[in-house]
Amino acid sequence: MTHSVFIDGETGTTGLQIRQRLAGLPHIQLRSLPDALRKDDVAKRAVMAEVDVLILCLPDGAARDSASMAASLGTAAPRILDASTAHRIHPDWVYGLPELSAEQARAIAAAPRVSVPGCYPTGPILLLKPLIDAGLVPADHAISVNAVSGYTGGGKALIAEYDARRGNDFELYGLGLEHKHVPELQHYSGLTRRPIFIPSIADYAQGMLDSIPLHLDALPGRVTVADLLACLENHHADSEYVRVLAGDPADRLEPQALNNTNTIELRVYGSERLRQALLVARYDNLGKGASGAAVQCLGLMLGVPVETRLAA
């Protein structure tokens, strides 16, 4: 059986990589509009009514408009997969992170509307939720997340700046502590206290590192580094794309090792003598942080095998 898919916003970074991952799959038929009709509502509405799944790779406002247009089709409406921030904590949309819980993949498979996770929250959520659910980290614990992304995580304007060699080697941003991904991070990790999130961009195209420091003596009981590692290993034991690793103090982690894949690595570093730990996630901000995650969700929604890895 062939399934038809229309990517609204296929010329952007995320849309292009989704298209590349889906191109050539015999059970996926990609539909497009000519350049002159991409913003034509009549043409868009017509193609939406003819496809099985609509993938939104648009700014938030445009994503809401396209989702509303699709919904107005009634029984002819396609299922929707939204890669924007617009619907990530909306109660009528299923969050597209299959590794969140044992039930999440089934919820995605059955959902009419799925919201793809943001790049920055994906790692912290997969690190924190299992620990919070297990009671190793209290839901009201004071959490700080430091993250560095390749500049492709910053949108078209930032990409253009770096491609023109006008970007800084490294920069912190979001220093008002109100980054748009924080509500999503808090909601799906299970935190009841708003975390401090410090994002940064560096002068390389793609790849991401998230890190979360923990004072073990500030946690309930006598939590050890081994407890943290065992909890994550147990939660993600059956995850196709998640690798849980014991951190080696001699490691020198660089963020680009998993580029063009949908794999995410979760590491636990620590010192029992110092009673300190560091949780680290490494992944591709355009892979498991965007396009790869979207294609993974699409495969679940359609019940078909997909290619989450970007061909060289």
Catalytic residues: 119
Considering only CA atoms, give the Rg of the chain.
20
Cα–Cα distance measured from residue 258 to residue 195, given in angstroms and rounded to the nearest whole number? 26
Q: 264 pairs with which residues across the strands?
A: 242, 283
Cα–Cα distance measured from residue 19 to residue 311, given in angstroms and rounded to the nearest whole number? 12
207 contact partners, CB below 8 Å, separation of at least 6: 149, 150, 254, 255, 256, 257, 258, 259, 282, 283, 284, 285
Please spell the DSSP secondary structure of 64-129, one letter per residue: HHHHHHHHTTGGGPPEEEE-SSTTTT-TTSEE--GGG-TTHHHHHHH-SEEEPPPHHHHHHHHHHH
282-300 per-residue burial string, b: 16 or more CB within 10 A, e: under 16? bbbbbbbbbbbbbbbbbbb
Q: How far is CA 7 from CA 36, 58, 165, 284, in A?
A: 16, 10, 30, 21
Please spell the DSSP secondary structure of 12-39, one letter per residue: SHHHHHHHHHHTT-TTEEEE---GGGTT
Cα–Cα distance measured from residue 169 to residue 162, given in angstroms and rounded to the nearest whole number? 9
